[in-house]
Amino acid sequence: MVELLSMPNPDPNSKTITKERPSHLSFPVAWEHVASDGAGRYITRVIHRLPGDVLHVWTSRRHRKRRGGRIVKATEAVVSEDPSMTHSIPMRHATFRYWGWAMQRLTWWIGVIFILGSICFVLGTVPMAYEGVAKLLGWSGHVLNSICFTGSVFFTIGSYLLLLEAVNIDLDLRLEMRARKLEHFLEGEKFEIPGRKPLRFWGWAWGRIDYQIAIVQLTGALIFNINTGMALVSGLDWIQTDAWVWTPSTLASICFVTAAYLGIVEVCHRWWAWQPRDVSWWINLFGLLGALGFLISSIFGFFAQGPILLPQWLGNIFALMMGSWFFLIGTYLLIPEMFLEDEQL
C-alpha cells in the first residue's frame, strides 16, 4: 500500500532556491532535473527523472546515513518545477527492525555510542529526581555526577563521529563515477574506477546543513564536558557553580537545541512540518525535546541555591531527567532507522 507524504508549502518568506543541487554533490548528466527543495538556502532534497518514467529522490539525511536515494514511480508522485509548490512523494511501508548489528558501519556506532551516553544520563538523573531510588541503590551525589560525566564523554565521542560522517560523505557514494563506468561499459570501453578516498578526520563545509548539525552538536558536547566535570568538584560557592556548571550547561544546551532543530529542517525540507510517519522526524523531535529539557534545567540551575521546592524540582531536576529519557528514545531510534529501507520499485 502506498501512502502519499505531502510536504507543506514553504514559508512565503523563505528564499527561493535557484541551485539544482548541493555544491558537494554530482548527479549523472543524463538524469533530468525536476525539482530541488529545502528551507531557505539549504538544499535538502533533489528530484530527478530517470528513464522508465521513474524518479530518483535524493535527500540530505539519507545520503549522509548511507541509505542512498529512493526510486519511485513518477505516476505516484506529485512534483512541480516551481519551488513554491507542494511536492508529494510516496512513502512505502517497510519492516521495522527494533535492533540490528552492523559493526562495519559508522552510522551504527554513532547510534550505539549515543545510546550509551543517554543511558548514563538516565541512570544519573532518575536517582537525582527521586531520592528513594538513590537510597535504594546506595549511590551518593558524587556517584550520580560521575555517571553523568561518563554520559557526556560518550556524547562527545558520538558527536565527533557525527562530524566524521559528515566530512566523509563522499567516500562510498560517487553517483557520477558509477554512471560514467556504466556508460563506458555499455559502449564497450574500459573504465577504471579511481581509488577510495582517504578518511578525513576534520573538514570545513559550513554551507551544508548536515555539517552544521554535526559541528554545532560537537561544540555543545565539548562545552557540556565542562559542566559535568566541574559538578564533580566539591566546595564550589554559588558564584563558581553558576560560572562553571550552569553557564556551560546553558551554552551546551543551546547548541543541542540548535542542532536538533536543524535536523528537523533537514528532514522536513521546511522550517517546520509534521512528519509522524517518518522515523527520522521522530529522532530529531525527541532530540529537540531532550535538548529543551536540558536547557530548562540549566536555566533553573541558576536559582538552585537554598532548599529545593516543587517549582525548582520540576524546572531543574525533573526537566533534566525527562530530557535524558527523550535523548534515550531518540538515540535508540537511530538503529532502527538505518535498517528501515524503503521498498524499491
**What would the pLDDT profile of 119-164 be if each residue is shown by its tens digit?**
999 999 999 999 999 999 999 999 999 999 999 999 999 999 999 9
Q: What is the mean pLDDT of residues 61-78?
A: 77
- Beta-strand relationship, 70-73 and 32-37: unpaired
Residue type, 7: M
Q: Is residue 271 part of a domain?
A: yes
pTM as predicted: 0.82
Domain count for the chain: 1
Residue type, 83: P
Per-residue pLDDT tens over the stretch 107-116 = 999 999 999 9
**pLDDT exceeds 50 at position 17:** no
In a domain, 183, yes or no: no
- Residue 205 — φ and ψ, nearest 5°? -150, 60
Smallest Cα–Cα separation from 67: which of 271, 279, 276, 269? Answer: 279
Residue 37 has pLDDT above 50, yes or no: yes
Q: What is the mean predicted confidence (pLDDT) over 59-69?
A: 87
pLDDT at 132: 93
Q: Which domain holds residue 219?
A: 106-173+199-339
Q: Is residue 217 part of a domain?
A: yes
Count of all residues that appear for the chain in the document:
345
**Residues of the chain with pLDDT > 90: what percent?**
55
Where does the pLDDT of residue 307 fall: very low under 50, low under 70, confident under 90, or very high at 90 and above? low
**Domain contains 233:** yes
Backbone angles phi, psi at 183, to 5 degrees: -60, -45
pLDDT surpasses 70 at 14: no
Q: Identify which of 317, 335, 323, 295 has the alpha carbon closest to the alpha carbon of residue 118.
A: 323
Q: Are 124 and 153 within 8 A, CB to CB?
A: no
- Quick check: is 278 in a domain? yes
**In a domain? residue 304:** yes
Asked whether residue 87 carries a pLDDT value surpassing 70, the answer given is no
Angle between helix 209-230 and helix 141-167 axes, rounded to 10 deg: 160
